[in-house]
Amino acid sequence: MRLLSTQEVAQILGVSESGVRLNAQKGRLGFRTVRVGSKWKFPDEEVYLYAYGANWREHVKQQDLIDEDTSNASSGTEQI
């Protein structure tokens, strides 16, 4: 779960900040998304789903591979 500002949630969803609040009132943000003070507690899966669409799992796998390759290159070791 991530704590995101209203502006960050708006960027992910592609709506205005008032659109985020309206979607929350109508129950369109997902059942696990809740307001915590001035932030939104937003599940990672829903962040990826809104940001990358139906293929978000594939995007996360590719990103993990890129991060792994980068960490191996910076440490000077290569896994075979």
The structural domains of the chain, ordered by start, are 2-75 (1.10.1660)
**Tens digit of pLDDT for each residue in 33-73?**
788 888 888 777 777 676 666 665 676 677 676 677 666 66
What element of type H or E holds 36? strand 34-36
pLDDT confidence bin for 27, thresholds 50/70/90: confident
**Tens digit of pLDDT for each residue in 7-18?**
988 888 788 989
Question: In the block, which residue shows the tokens 């995007």?
Answer: 59
Instruction: Classify residue 29 as exposed, middle or buried by CB count within 10 Å of its CB (0-12, 13-18, 19+).
Output: buried
| Separation of alpha carbons 9 and 20, rounded Å | 7
Is the pTM for the entire model greater than 0.85? no
pLDDT, position 41: 87
The structure tokens listed for 72 are 């191996």
| Separation of alpha carbons 33 and 40, rounded Å | 7
